[in-house]
Amino acid sequence: MSRRLGRIKLGRARIVALAAVVGLGLAGCGGSDIKDNSSSSGSSKCGNLRIAVNPWTGYVANAHVIGVLAKEKLGCNVTYPEVKEEVGWQGMDSGSIDAVVENWGHDDLVKTYVDEKKTVEDAGLTGNEGLIGWFVPQWMADKYPDILDWNNLNKYADLFKTSESGDQGQLLDGDPSYVTNDEALVKNLNLNFKVVVGGSEAALLQSFRDAERNQTPLLAYFYTPQWYAEVDGQSTPGVKDPVQIAHVKLPDYTEGCDADPAKVACDYPPYHLNKLIATKFADSGSPAVDLIKNFNWTNEDQNLVASYIGQDGMSPDDAAKKWIDANPDKVDAWLKGISTS
């Protein structure tokens, strides 16, 4: 997770929903190796379509809605290599992956693969608007209203002490593969906190659930879109018992305030999430190229499909099909002009 692709602000951090994603086998995926673990048969016209899957439920929703359409409408042989974000870029460069369908930035990778090597191309926006930041359980915001202003965090630092943070308050981060500004923010804002890595995405979300149920203090890195979280009172329709959290406001983001990672002292920017395709795949003539470029939906769309997976226990393909069947106008717009023969 970094910041820019061209002039589009981007970034990255994610949390999968509890044991549902563990059950999908995503929580433990994505080391340095690329492997295909899901496939379907398809025709030779489209050929193979290898969509990288990063380990968070919203991404899974994007990948399988695109993948189901590519298989059923375009005859593609779709596989879903499970990888960490940077490995997806490496796969597009090496030719083992065709597309990443929810990208949260990575300035350094953009420079290497898009600008210099030209082995990866921007395939347009997903339509999803991302938010990265620091959050507390809603009960803390209700009990300590001024805690949502970063200027007051040191006043409450003692509340957040843990065995791992020692004499400092704990700021809980997510998966170790996530690239964040949090270490620099704590230092540059002179906060009496220690960044502690929370481990798996499911574990981080469970930490919020435990903090809510047990009324224990928690300050943690989090993001939206996220189907299971009710953020500042807004939740996904139909989700039962969402975890309730509130966003802590850091110093306002301004253009360029995050240019030097070591000197960052501002909030995360708004993130306009985008898709990426391998240049070789873009030039292949596959009809799936246009499908990926045309794919565009909302946070609400993504969260709904993710809730089918995380809450209702549907397989990613079944969840995708349910949404596809209910949204023919959007699907028709994505497929318009694409040859299916």
In 3D space, the residue among 68, 155, 77, 101 whose CA is nearest the CA of residue 331 turns out to be 68
Mark 104-131 as b/e (b = at least 16 C-beta within 10 Å): bbbbebbebbbeeeebbbbbebbbbebb
Cα–Cα distances in angstroms (integers) from residue 55 to residues 15, 63, 188, 214, 236, in the given order = 8, 11, 30, 28, 20
Distance CA 56, CA 60 (A): 7
Task: Say whether 131-263 and 4-129+271-335 share the same fold.
Answer: yes
> Which residues, in sequence order, are CB contacts of 226 under 8 Å at separation 6+?
14, 15, 58, 303
Residues 6 or more apart in contact with residue 10 via CB below 8 angstroms: 2, 3, 4, 103, 104, 105, 106, 130, 271, 272, 273, 274
Q: Using an 8 Å Cβ cutoff, are 273 and 126 in contact? A: yes
Q: What is the pLDDT along the chain (341 residues), one digit of tens a residue?
A: 433 333 333 444 444 434 344 333 333 333 334 333 333 444 457 999 999 999 889 999 999 999 999 999 999 999 999 998 899 999 999 999 999 999 987 888 999 999 999 999 999 999 999 999 999 999 999 999 999 999 999 999 999 999 999 999 999 998 777 768 999 999 999 999 999 998 776 777 899 999 999 999 999 999 899 898 888 778 778 888 899 999 999 999 999 999 898 999 999 988 999 999 999 999 999 999 999 999 999 999 999 999 999 899 999 999 999 999 999 999 999 999 897 65
Report pTM: 0.85
Q: Where are the domains of the chain?
A: 4-129+271-335, 131-263
Cα distance between residue 191 and residue 176, in whole Å: 21
- Class for the domain spanning 131-263: alpha beta
Q: Are 169 and 219 in contact, with CB atoms under 8 Å apart?
A: yes
Quick one: fold of 4-129+271-335? D-Maltodextrin-Binding Protein; domain 2 (3.40.190)
In terms of DSSP bridges, do strands 77-79 and 229-231 run parallel, antiparallel, or are they unpaired? unpaired
